[in-house]
A and B are shown apart, each in its own frame.
Chain A
Amino acid sequence: MGRHGGRTRFGGLSEPAPDAARGPRAGTGQPATGAPATGAPATGQPATGQPGGTAVVRVDGLTKDYGSVLALDSLTLDIGGGTTGLVGANGAGKSTLLKLLLGLIPPTGGRAEVLGHDIATEGEAIRAAVGYLPEHDCLPPDVSASDFVVHMAMVSGLPRVAARERAAEVLRHVGLAEERYRPMGGYSTGMKQKAKLAQALAHDPRLVLLDEPTNGLDPAAREEMLGLVRRIGHDFGIAVIVTSHLLGELERVSDNVVVLDGGRLLRASRTDEFLDATGVLLLEVLGDDAQARMTAALTAAGVAAAPRGAMITVDAAEGAVDVRDLIRDTASDLGLGLVRLQVDHRRIEDVFADADADGDGDGDGDAAHAAPRSAP
């Protein structure tokens, strides 16, 4: 089980009560007023009733006002172990939130705890136990990845011998082989991202903050990086907070998804709640004119079926008949090969498409462009 055995895999996530008194940007004048626990009612309570003390990150009314920009607007949420995706358009406050959580910049109002340490007063304790992969370039070009990761491990508090061992191990995990001995200036973007990930893991953190780790990667490197992120959260037992502006990526790697928009919490819930089964089965059959014959047979049997691409969608939501059995028997009777039968998951984007349609009807189907609004 390892050291993280006791944590729940679920992040208890709560949503702030909409503060009707201020518009999206109206809080600029008196930033700290909406601050801590006594502020808005019914905030800060984990919505899921998980046991206390398991949250990796607790944020309560956190506000960051840069003067010209209100980067975070009284954000309240809890983030648990496992992998949490942080989604939002550019400027939604993702990077600001990560910097606040590292204790690098002081909040304008509100408070937050990371691994039980207060961000305002215990920044060093947090940074000793947290790894950080910044969004921008951060690697010196004239140093080898091997030397650099050893150095960063030592700067994080590991003795020299331990730092050497850890660096070798972490570089192996991220998949930098012989090239680790070459200066990093000659690396491809994919290799650079791996080196950045290695330095974030060098000191065996309990939480890693990954700011757009797939930025600028080609599809193959993107897959590899996502696989690494998944392994860190699931196999390494390290809690992960990963940001992206691509929902599709986070849908596949994260247990929980937090959506920020204009410095406010738009939605926070488990990924599988985003991806609620729609009650539709997807099936693919093989044979002469398979799709049409199968659809006709299913419709004749009283089940709503329709072709979609090369597949057939079957409405399995209602009816006492076990639709799966029916599909199996029908395919068998028709002499068709049943290639695939799966639950039709929604994609995270669909959730926002719905929200747009329900909300203001602009319906562009892209959460990144959704107008600021209070949490649904």
Chain B
Amino acid sequence: MTDPSTATPPGGTVIHDLGYRPYTGARVGPGAIARALTLTGFRNAFGLGRSGKSKVLPFILLALNLLPAVIVGGVLAFADLDRLPIGYAQYASSTQVLLGIFVASQAPVLFSRDLRHGTISLYLARPLRSSTYALARWAALLGATLVFLLLPVLILYAVALLRELGVGEQTRQAGIALGMAVLLALSLAGVSGLIASWSTRRGFAVVATIALLVVGNGVVTAIQGISEDQGRPVVGEVAGLFSPYSLYRGLMGAWTDVRVPTPPSSTGMVLAYVAVFVGLSVGCVAALLWRYRRVATA
């Protein structure tokens, strides 16, 4: 073994230089770093930039989610209908199980995966605050959820315009659906992201999220059905505040002409629905930030 200190003459140039070149170019700031992290997270949520196997589930779910919209488009092309067979806003409510599975299965990709494999310590060792990391991951999940929610709306809207169903009314309806989709995506990204950030095991996060979204919605729906039957809609209206899907359904009943059980009947109740929707999202993001501050200093 040669003495390592003689491998390179002190201070001298190295003839057997193997070509390590220092990087002298520009370095970007925290904003661009956060954007890069968000974009990669968004791609990862659909399995892009990951193994082939991990693309299967998100794309199957996306295809299933788009299938009804494509069928509606086909029907509309041949049948002579003067309106869409399914409303823009109603679409997300009809495919809510697919949506639930999508956020439940892909939130762990963005949150649990880094915790489970220890990658989080690499991110925290970069010029990146824990809050920036948490927000970038959340934004990636929000973006993926919005794509999932809005692609079918976009297809329906395009079909409606091609069939010349009345640009003004269709645009208004699609606009309402867009606003509601944003509200729903905000809350779903918050809830599923928060659950995934507390779980290093993907399976646990998936089950917990689906249980919360689907089972929670099932309970609320049952209460709403009973309260409508019993002629006491207020109970159903209040119960609707306790699940993202029932919040969405309630606002759909208030803002569109879709018939739903026990929609919020007063303006105050509609405002309460919106406030709970927004508050749930904000609360989840705050909890996410707190969670990652804990992770960073642990």
CA distance A230 to B8 in the complex (A): 10
Q: Decide if B118 touches A142 in the complex (CB within 8 Å).
A: no
**Residue A139 lies at the interface, judged by CB distance under 8 Å to chain B:** yes
CA distance A132 to B40 in the complex (A): 21
Which residues of the other chain, A, contact B51 by a CB distance below 8 angstroms?
142-143, 183, 185
Which residues of the other chain, A, contact B127 by a CB distance below 8 angstroms?
124-125, 127-128, 156-157
Q: Decide if A157 touches B27 in the complex (CB within 8 Å).
A: yes
Q: Decide if A231 touches B25 in the complex (CB within 8 Å).
A: no
CA distance A155 to B11 in the complex (A): 33
B115-130 CB mask vs A (1 if < 8 Å, else 0) is 0011101111111110
Give the number of residues in A that approach B within 8 Å (Cβ atoms).
Answer: 54
Q: Decide if B121 touches A134 in the complex (CB within 8 Å).
A: yes
Q: Decide if A124 touches B25 in the complex (CB within 8 Å).
A: no
**Residue B172 lies at the interface, judged by CB distance under 8 Å to chain A:** no
CA distance A154 to B21 in the complex (A): 18
Q: Tell me the interface secondary structure of chain B in the complex.
A: loop
Which residues of the other chain, A, contact B117 by a CB distance below 8 angstroms?
137-141
Chain B residues touching A, range: 35 or more
Q: Decide if B27 touches A158 in the complex (CB within 8 Å).
A: yes
Which residues of the other chain, B, contact A155 by a CB distance below 8 angstroms?
33, 36-37, 123, 126, 128
CA distance A199 to B122 in the complex (A): 9
Q: How distant is A128 from chain B, measured CB to nearest CB, in Å?
A: 4
Which residues of the other chain, B, contact A199 by a CB distance below 8 angstroms?
122
Q: Decide if A255 touches B23 in the complex (CB within 8 Å).
A: no
**Which one of A104, A125, A204 contacts B124 once the chains associate, using CB atoms below 8 Å?**
A104
Q: How distant is A247 from chain B, measured CB to nearest CB, in Å?
A: 14
Instruction: Name the CB-closest residue of A to B50.
Output: A142
Which residues of the other chain, A, contact B53 by a CB distance below 8 angstroms?
142
Q: Decide if B8 touches A234 in the complex (CB within 8 Å).
A: yes
Chain B 120-145 interface residues, beta-carbon cutoff 8 Å to A: 121-129
Which residues of the other chain, B, contact A319 by a CB distance below 8 angstroms?
none
**Which one of A2, A5, A106, A125 contacts B297 once the chains associate, using CB atoms below 8 Å?**
A106
CA distance A147 to B119 in the complex (A): 14
Q: Decide if A252 touches B297 in the complex (CB within 8 Å).
A: no
**Residue A1 lies at the interface, judged by CB distance under 8 Å to chain B:** yes
**Residue A346 lies at the interface, judged by CB distance under 8 Å to chain B:** no
CA distance A166 to B168 in the complex (A): 52
**Which one of A2, A3, A104, A252 contacts B125 once the chains associate, using CB atoms below 8 Å?**
A104
Q: Decide if B4 touches A252 in the complex (CB within 8 Å).
A: yes
Instruction: Name the CB-closest residue of B to A169.
Output: B21
**Which one of B18, B36, B125 contacts A127 once the chains associate, using CB atoms below 8 Å?**
B125
A139-B119, A156-B127, A162-B23 known; A234-B7 Cβ under 8 A: yes
CA distance A183 to B53 in the complex (A): 11
Which residues of the other chain, A, contact B79 by a CB distance below 8 angstroms?
none
**Which one of B25, B54, B126 contacts A142 once the chains associate, using CB atoms below 8 Å?**
B54
Q: How distant is A198 from chain B, measured CB to nearest CB, in Å?
A: 12
**Which one of A154, A166, A236, A253 contacts B36 once the chains associate, using CB atoms below 8 Å?**
A154
Which residues of the other chain, B, contact A185 by a CB distance below 8 angstroms?
51
Q: Decide if B11 touches A5 in the complex (CB within 8 Å).
A: yes
**Residue A333 lies at the interface, judged by CB distance under 8 Å to chain B:** no
**Which one of A141, A235, A252, A271 contacts B17 once the chains associate, using CB atoms below 8 Å?**
A235
Additional 8 contacts, C-beta under 8 A, given A124-B127, A140-B50, A143-B49:
A2-B22, A138-B122, A155-B37, A155-B128, A157-B29, A166-B23, A185-B51, A231-B18
7 residue pairs of the A-B complex, CB under 8 angstroms, read A104-B297, A127-B127, A136-B121, A151-B40, A155-B123, A162-B26, A231-B20
